Amino acid sequence: MKNRRELYFAVILMIGVLALWGCPKKADMSAVPEEENAPAQVEQKAPEEEEAKERSAAAGEGLQPIYFDFDKSFVRDDARSVMKANADWLKANPKVKVKIEGNCDERGTIEYNQALGQRRAASAKKYLTDMGISANRISLISYGKEKPVCKQSNEDCWQKNRRGDLVAD
C-alpha cells in the first residue's frame, strides 16, 4: 500500500513537471529603453555624431502621434491619414529609423498598461510595415502610463495619453 501511494505521488509529480515545462514563456517586453538596459559605456562622441543626432531629432518633427480608443490597440479610422503621412515621411527619409512608444492613460494596473502600450506600438508598426516601411527601421517600447502628456483625471486628458508616439532614432 505504501509503495502504491509513493508511485501515485511520483506519477503526479512527473506530470506536474512536464506540464510546467511545456508552458509558454512570457514574451520579452521591455519597459525601459534599450540604451538603459545595456551596460554603461563611457565614450566620447565626435561632433559629427552630435550633429547627425540633432538633424535626426529635427527630422522627427515630420512624424505625428496617433491616438487610440480606451482599452483598444487597433489603429482608428481617423488615425489612418496620420499613419499614411508618417509612412510617406519615412519613405522620403529612408535612412531614418523610428521608435514607436506605446502609451496609456492612468487607469488600469502598471502591468496591464505595459502590455496594452506594447500592443499599441506593435499595431502601429504593423500598419507602417503594411505600407511598405521596413520592419528593421522600426523599434518598439511601451511606457504604459509612465509618460502622460496630461495629468488631469478626465476624458479629454485620458484621450491625449492613449497614444503611440513616433520618435526618430
User: Per residue in 72-128, pLDDT tens?
Assistant: 999 999 999 999 999 999 999 999 999 999 999 999 999 999 999 999 999 999 999
Q: What is the pLDDT of residue 19?
A: 64
Residue 114 CB neighbour total at 10 angstroms: 21
Give yes or no for residue 162 having a pLDDT over 50: yes
- Contact between 157 and 150 (Cβ < 8 Å): yes
Q: Regarding predicted confidence, which is higher, 96 or 49?
A: 96
Can you name the residues that pair with 163 across neighbouring β-strands? 67
Give yes or no for residue 71 having a pLDDT over 50: yes
Taking each helix axis as running N to C, give the angle between helix 110-130 and helix 80-92, from 0 to 180 degrees, rounded to the nearest 10.
60
Identify the CATH homologous superfamily for domain 29-36+47-168.
OmpA-like domain (3.30.1330.60)
Percent of all residues in the chain with a pLDDT value above 90, rounded to a whole number: 62
Q: What is the pLDDT of residue 37?
A: 40
Backbone angles phi, psi at 140, to 5 degrees: -120, 150
